[in-house]
A and B are shown apart, each in its own frame.
Chain A
Amino acid sequence: MAETLLAASALAKSFRTGVTALAGVDLAVAPSEFVGVLGPSGCGKSTLLRIFAGLIEPSAGHIERAAGLVGRVGFVFQEPTLMPWATVADNVYLPLRLAGVTREAASPRIAAILGSLGLGEFAAAYPRQLSGGMRMRVSIARALVIEPALLLLDEPFAALDEITRFKLNEDLRALWRQLRCTIIFVTHSVFESVFLTNRILVMTKRPGRIAADLVVDLPETRDNAVRLTERYADNCRTVSRRLAEAMT
């Protein structure tokens, strides 16, 4: 890996409450990688993601970002986090609006991104009129509209039912194949991380460190049929074992 998009060394974070969320995290992420961060609840995964986004500062250690990352980081929260008073199109327009792009200049991009996420006919709808899965799609569209170099997702599908979740997993994987941006996806689901990503970082419980850095051995193009294969099961077994080790 010659090129790095994001590198962290000896990253640590303690909060004023005395909780130490992270202790000594080292990692490097290359452009166009799809990385999963897997760990138990409360292991500091979200904290790590927020540090990557620049939303919080680490207490120790440091982080290096490639020059191309400035203003090109998208973030998707656990909840859709949409503005309830704005239509779907206006919600997606938000990052561009904040960057000073006019509505006329933005509208083809908004239409394109809504189309690619299957939201084309909902542009004028308000968030409350959509299902949970659709709202999450809007949230992803909003993150993608700036054409991010790095997309950070913090357990975005945790609150969704399994059918919706599988569909969104499939669509996200396809989108990544198409866009080739770097994605860091935080989850506590072994199955989700194996299906989605190419590389899984297993974290220990709090204070979080990276216990294992695993490569997912699955074909690049994946649909839900992959979930039924022996290879998928093998990968899940390996990752589960490493997760169990990390938690002891």
Chain B
Amino acid sequence: MNGASRFWRIVAPVLIGAAFLLGWQAAVWFVGVPAYVLPGPWLIAKTLLHDGPGLFGALLVTLRITFAALALAIMVGGALAILFSLSRLLEVSLFPYAVILQVTPVVAIAPLIIIWVNDVFAALLVCATIVAFFPIVANTTLGLNSADRNLNDLFRLYGASRWQTLRLLRLPSALPLFLAGVRISGGLALIGAVVAEFVAGTGGAETGLASRIIEAGYRLEIPRMFAALLLLSLTGIAIFVVLSWLSRLLLRHWHESALEPTD
């Protein structure tokens, strides 16, 4: 990429964002919208700074659930995908149920899970994992089954065991798609954690950002609601950026997606 286009890639979105925020602030000022309907960005920023420490504690609770769910989704999803790739029968028998779990809205099953699982953290974890695990199963299964045919033949010719073929051929072949799945699941784990927190309500000693949002809503503290929302989006973006960076790092030597453009 040449210098000028790299420059605009950063500057253009920043300009759009700044124009949007200025317009918003101006609208709030000149029209005189009350803060309990729509606070201006300036007030939101101030609230975020002021309430930061309180919100930050809640963010940590949400993050703990998010990362635990992502880790669990990677383990469960990865293990299921490996099992599917080893046995076609297992794949055709179980895959439809993974799809059912995926298409059922988590808000609809969360109340049940919260009733069944006593520990709040564990219940939230289960909900977030259910939301997050499907992209990993689907992508990794596809990746494991898309190893080069000739390489497969070569492994057979040299008498590779099933385990060797899995470890040296199918797992590396699946890595790019697995990482793409993890990148999607990272965002979904956060969404799942927040949705489950919403359903679980504000009870319990340690509550996450969703509880803060509900609380603020009840008290009509709209700037605080926006501040919590902003914190959530920033977290989502950070998770995506970190996972993308990790993906590039792992694939930098060989995969097209991680190569520097050449021109």
Query: Which residues on the A side are within 8 Å of B56 (C-beta)?
Result: none
Q: How far is the CA of A55 from the CA of B149 in the complex (A)?
A: 12
B254 and A73: CB pair below 8 A? no
A94 and B168: CB pair below 8 A? yes
B150 and A79: CB pair below 8 A? yes
B161 to chain A, nearest CB (A): 8
Query: Which residues on the B side are within 8 Å of A81 (C-beta)?
Result: 148, 150-151, 154
A84 in contact (CB, < 8 A): yes
A-side interface size class: 20 to 34
A114-143 residues at the B interface, CB under 8 angstroms:
126-128
A68 in contact (CB, < 8 A): no
B253 in contact (CB, < 8 A): yes
A83 in contact (CB, < 8 A): yes
B142 in contact (CB, < 8 A): no
Q: How far is the CA of A140 from the CA of B108 in the complex (A)?
A: 58
A95 in contact (CB, < 8 A): yes
Q: Which residue of B lies closest to A80 (CB)?
A: B150
Query: Which residues on the B side are within 8 Å of A50 (C-beta)?
Result: 153
Find A98's partner among B150, B153, B158, B172 (CB 8 Å cutoff): B158
A75 and B157: CB pair below 8 A? yes
Q: How far is the CA of A53 from the CA of B169 in the complex (A)?
A: 20
Q: How far is the CA of A214 from the CA of B160 in the complex (A)?
A: 37
Query: Which residues on the A side are within 8 Å of B172 (C-beta)?
Result: 83, 85-86
B24 in contact (CB, < 8 A): no
A91 to chain B, nearest CB (A): 10
Given A83-B151, A98-B155, A127:B168 Cβ within 8 A: no
A71 in contact (CB, < 8 A): yes
B156 and A98: CB pair below 8 A? no
A191 in contact (CB, < 8 A): no
Query: Which residues on the A side are within 8 Å of B155 (C-beta)?
Result: 98
Q: How many A-B Cβ pairs are below 8 Å?
A: 51
B154 and A127: CB pair below 8 A? no
B-side interface size class: 20 to 34
Q: Which residue of B lies closest to A128 (CB)?
A: B254
A47 to chain B, nearest CB (A): 13
B255 in contact (CB, < 8 A): yes
Query: Which residues on the A side are within 8 Å of B168 (C-beta)?
Result: 83, 94, 97-98
Q: Which residue of B lies closest to A97 (CB)?
A: B168
A240 to chain B, nearest CB (A): 30
Q: How far is the CA of A227 from the CA of B251 in the complex (A)?
A: 45
Find B159's partner among A84, A85, A86, A98 (CB 8 Å cutoff): A98
Q: How far is the CA of A50 from the CA of B156 in the complex (A)?
A: 12
Query: Which residues on the B side are within 8 Å of A83 (C-beta)?
Result: 151, 168-169, 172
Query: Which residues on the A side are within 8 Å of B253 (C-beta)?
Result: 85, 126
Q: How far is the CA of A83 from the CA of B174 in the complex (A)?
A: 12
Query: Which residues on the A side are within 8 Å of B151 (C-beta)?
Result: 81, 83
B242 to chain A, nearest CB (A): 22
Q: Which residue of A lies closest to B147 (CB)?
A: A83
Q: How far is the CA of A243 from the CA of B194 in the complex (A)?
A: 72
B86 in contact (CB, < 8 A): no
B158 and A94: CB pair below 8 A? yes
B158 and A95: CB pair below 8 A? yes
A54 in contact (CB, < 8 A): yes
A77 in contact (CB, < 8 A): yes
Query: Which residues on the A side are within 8 Å of B233 (C-beta)?
Result: none
Q: How far is the CA of A41 from the CA of B4 in the complex (A)?
A: 50
B257 to chain A, nearest CB (A): 12
Bitwise, A57-79 to B at CB < 8 A (1) or not (0) is 00000000000000101010101
A126 and B254: CB pair below 8 A? yes
B175 in contact (CB, < 8 A): yes
A228 in contact (CB, < 8 A): no
A99 in contact (CB, < 8 A): yes
A28 to chain B, nearest CB (A): 22
A205 to chain B, nearest CB (A): 24
Bitwise, A84-119 to B at CB < 8 A (1) or not (0) is 111000000011011100000000000000000000
Find B157's partner among A73, A79, A85, A127 (CB 8 Å cutoff): A73
Chain A residues in contact with chain B, CB under 8 A? 50, 53-55, 71, 73, 75, 77, 79, 81, 83-86, 94-95, 97-99, 126-128, 146
Supply 7 further A-B pairs (C-beta < 8 A) apart from A84-B254, A85-B254, A94-B158. A54-B157, A79-B150, A81-B150, A83-B151, A98-B159, A98-B164, A126-B253
The 6 closest A-B pairs by CB, nearest first: A84-B254, A81-B150, A98-B158, A85-B172, A98-B160, A77-B150
19 A-B pairs with CB atoms under 8 Å apart are: A55-B156, A75-B153, A77-B150, A77-B154, A81-B148, A81-B150, A81-B154, A83-B168, A84-B254, A85-B175, A85-B254, A86-B172, A94-B158, A97-B168, A98-B158, A98-B164, A99-B159, A126-B254, A127-B254
